[in-house]
């Protein structure tokens, strides 16, 4: 599968989309934001950081609409790209987005988990084209850390 990196740098694509990657925060617990194992990059789950130390909170389907949660998932996608750039030095090393696990802090009868996590998935396709298409799970949770609306983790196949 041809990479968009061959046509234009991913940084240029981000600029075209008006996306600035934020700094990667230091973990607040006993984990790391990413692990590079051979040609696979594993990104730890992240929540929607509005600004340093401030996250989007609430139950989707009660306090937060599906549309707002979609925007939160997109924001998390941007944060995941920032972690990937931190790990790799450049996003042009990403060969394929392999897998995304999206978790939604929804009310018990909320059923629009895929529409929420599309915020991240749509971003990856906008940035990487076909290489941004990935396997995915979008699931509901009874709660998420500190009441955040969404948490997303990802696995990327990278060029060595």
For 77-80, the CB contacts below 8 A with 24+ separation are: 77/119, 77/120, 77/121, 77/123, 77/124, 77/152, 78/19, 78/21, 78/22, 78/123, 79/22, 79/24, 79/46, 79/48, 79/49, 80/43, 80/46, 80/120, 80/152, 80/153, 80/154
Domains and CATH numbers, the chain: 4-18+32-158 (3.30.1330.40)
pLDDT score of 61: 98
Helices (H), the chain: 10-17, 66-88, 113-128
Task: Report the C-alpha dihedral over residues 65, 70, 75, 77, rounded to 10 degrees.
Answer: 150
pLDDT score of 8: 62
Which parts of the chain sit beneath pLDDT 70? 1-8
pTM of the model: 0.94
pLDDT score of 7: 47
């Amino acid at each position: 599968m041809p990479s968009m990196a061959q046509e234009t740098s991913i940084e240029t694509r981000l600029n075209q989309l008006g996306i600035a990657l934020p700094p990667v925060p230091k973990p607040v617990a006993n984990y790391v934001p990413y692990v590079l194992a051979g040609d696979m990059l594993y990104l730890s789950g992240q929540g929607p950081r509005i600004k340093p130390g401030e996250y989007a909170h609430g139950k989707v389907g009660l306090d937060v609409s599906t549309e707002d949660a979609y925007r939160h998932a997109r924001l998390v996608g941007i944060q995941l790209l920032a972690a990937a750039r931190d790990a790799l030095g450049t996003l042009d090393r990403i060969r394929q987005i392999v897998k995304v696990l999206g978790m939604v802090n929804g009310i018990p009868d909320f059923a629009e988990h895929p529409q929420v996590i599309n915020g991240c998935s749509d971003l990856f396709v906008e940035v990487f084209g076909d290489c941004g298409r990935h396997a995915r799970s979008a699931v509901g949770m009874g709660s998420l850390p500190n009441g955040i609306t969404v948490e997303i983790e990802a696995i990327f196949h990278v060029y060595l």
